[in-house]
Amino acid sequence: MAELGDWRGEALARARALIREACPDVVEEVKWKKPSNPSGVPAWSHAGLICTGETYKDKVKLTFANGAALNDPAGLFNASLDGNARRAIDIREGDRIDAAAFKALIRAAAALNEGKSAKKKPKCA
């Protein structure tokens, strides 16, 4: 993440810190390394995939694997809104994430993965 050396690396590092605050026992991996993306894609899991953090030229995309099943009262999801499973948050240079709302989404995704109602307190809270 730090190797990006610009605002995208900072945005991804901030998201990572918030994910760890929301779910301290989250598993972080780097997946999908390939010649066109040698750094791969960071992925965070807790009893299943929670989200990935992809970097593009003009944005950082945080994709929630089961985001369509999550309540998003703060309206953080702003991309991939048409699918039946995923939802994403596109962060552009200068954007700020609502930390409390983002951590609530992480906790809800973890609870969903645990097979619990998103309204119950997940183990990673």
Structure confidence by residue, pLDDT tens digits, 29-71: 999 898 878 889 999 999 999 999 999 999 999 999 999 999 9
For residue 120, what pLDDT band results from cuts at 50, 70 and 90?
low
Q: End-to-end distance of the chain based on CA atoms, in angstroms?
A: 25
In this prediction, residues 76-91 reach a mean pLDDT of: 95
- Domains of the chain from N-terminus onward: 2-113 (3.90.1150.200)
The share of the chain scoring above pLDDT 70, in percent, equals 89
CA–CA–CA angle 4, 85, 43 (5° rounding): 30
Contact status, residue 66 vs residue 53, Cβ threshold 8 Å: no
The helix/strand/coil state of 100 is helix
Write 31-38 long-range contacts (CB < 8 A, 24+).
Answer: none
pTM of the model: 0.87
Residue with tokens 């609870």: 111
In this prediction, residues 13-29 reach a mean pLDDT of: 97
Residue-level pLDDT at 5? 83
Residue-level pLDDT at 16? 97
Please give the mean pLDDT across all residues of the chain.
Answer: 91
In this prediction, residues 101-122 reach a mean pLDDT of: 82
The share of the chain scoring above pLDDT 90, in percent, equals 80
Instruction: Tell which phi-psi region holds residue 46, choosing left (phi > 0), alpha (psi between -120 and 50) or beta.
Output: beta
CA–CA gap between residue 40 and residue 107 (Å, rounded): 25
Contact status, residue 37 vs residue 50, Cβ threshold 8 Å: no
